């Protein structure tokens, strides 16, 4: 079997659980954070560094790779794994979110979406079948059904329309999928309405996908609304299959998502804020280019044992940012991804040890300075 999910342990105090995903390119221990390599590269980092950091799976983007360099070129290279020299699992999204959010103009029909490239303004048309064919060419271990991602806020009538179209596109995606070595996940939609989220989870469950994603969250809504949607949705998702919350990667959302039964997360946040000199540390976020760090010769994070924290000082990293050296963003990106992997490892230990709420409260108090930071 090329794809398999083992549910290893369930928390007695929350919906959190431990699992293991088996793929053709290796195993993934869940809950897991997936660094995002939008264009076949996690920005500033080499694959060997991601292995060193502890990454077990990364994400790449169908929309971007379709536009550049083109899925045919990636296929000719032997697929994404060979193209980018990454021998561990890869997940690709469907391109649906980018088609709706990045295109200057898009026209949605039952057949698919006409959109304009953000690169050169050229027009393209993507159907569910096209998205799947592109992802089959890219060759990721886990791929996504094409979906319609409604924005926030969204009125109820449009939310229904987008959800029902997502279900029809999920069926078409499943029918178009040809590779047995790739696991196709369905995507739950329904905007910010609990009844629609439940309906979507039930409809996709009946289609019997190997795994399920929750899309259309973390698109600008308050976090308490996202948590409400998760609490409504997760109980209707198959317990024996992995659950993936798309586009979420801040420490608080990772912790709250795990508590609510999510197994997989991805986000560009860790590397994006790194390029703007913001580091995640055990005592909260630090903007390292601030003047106060000019003569601070302590590690970026004294409680971190990553290569960056064992090798460089805050003063040196600040100097790199002020001098506009490319190494600056690379060092903080390395640290931030390591930090999130360590957070997930600590969550695994808390699930196994039965103290996940205690861990959350202690983390929030130390990182955010508030034990009651958005529950």
Are residues 256 and 227 in contact, defined by beta-carbon separation less than 8 angstroms? yes
Strands 264-267 and 243-245: parallel
For 350, the token pair is 């808390």
DSSP 327-367: HHHHHHHHHHHHHHHHHHHHHHHHHHHT-HHHHHHHHHHHH
Query: Could you give the CA distance from residue 337 to residue 59 in angstroms, rounded to a whole number?
Result: 13
Pair 262, 234: CB distance under 8 Å = yes
Cβ-Cβ contacts under 8 Å for 193 (sequence gap 6 or more): 156, 159
Q: Which residues are catalytic?
A: 93, 266
- Produce one character per residue of 245-265: b if its CB has 16 or more CB atoms within 10 Å, e if not: bbbbbbbbbbbbbbbbbbbbb
């Amino acid at each position: 079997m090329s794809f398999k999910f083992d549910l290893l342990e369930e928390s007695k105090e929350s919906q959190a659980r431990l699992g293991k995903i088996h793929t053709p390119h290796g195993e993934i221990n869940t809950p897991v954070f997936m660094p995002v390599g939008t264009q076949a590269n996690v920005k500033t980092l080499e694959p060997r560094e991601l292995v060193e950091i502890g990454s077990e799976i990364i994400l790449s983007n169908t929309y971007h790779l379709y536009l550049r360099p083109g899925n045919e070129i990636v296929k000719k290279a032997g697929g994404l794994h060979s193209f980018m020299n990454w021998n561990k699992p890869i997940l690709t999204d469907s391109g649906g979110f980018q088609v709706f959010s990045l295109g200057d103009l898009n026209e949605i029909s039952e057949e698919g979406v006409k959109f304009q490239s953000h690169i050169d303004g050229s027009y393209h048309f993507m159907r569910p079948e096209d998205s799947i064919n592109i992802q089959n060419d890219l060759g990721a271990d886990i791929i996504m059904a094409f979906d319609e991602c409604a924005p926030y806020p969204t009125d109820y009538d449009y939310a229904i329309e987008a959800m029902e179209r997502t279900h029809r596109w999920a069926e078409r995606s499943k029918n178009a999928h040809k590779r047995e070595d790739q696991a196709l996940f369905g995507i739950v939609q329904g905007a910010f309405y609990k009844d629609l989220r439940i309906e979507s989870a039930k409809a996709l469950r009946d289609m019997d996908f190997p795994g399920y994603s929750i899309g259309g969250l973390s698109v600008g809504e308050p976090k308490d609304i996202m948590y409400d949607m998760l609490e409504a949705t997760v109980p209707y998702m198959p317990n024996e299959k992995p659950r993936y919350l798309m586009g979420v990667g801040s420490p608080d959302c990772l912790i709250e998502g795990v508590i609510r039964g999510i197994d997989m997360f991805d986000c560009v946040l860790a590397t994006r804020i790194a390029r703007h000199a913001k580091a995640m540390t055990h005592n909260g976020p630090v903007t390292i280019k601030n003047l106060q760090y000019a003569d601070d010769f302590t590690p970026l994070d004294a409680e971190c044992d990553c290569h960056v924290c064992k090798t460089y000082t805050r003063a040196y990293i600040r100097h790199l940012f002020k001098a506009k050296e490319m190494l600056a963003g690379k060092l903080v990106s390395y640290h931030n991804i390591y930090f999130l992997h360590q957070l997930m490892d600590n969550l695994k230990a808390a699930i196994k040890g039965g103290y996940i709420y205690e861990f959350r409260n202690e983390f929030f108090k130390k990182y955010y300075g508030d034990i009651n930071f958005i529950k």
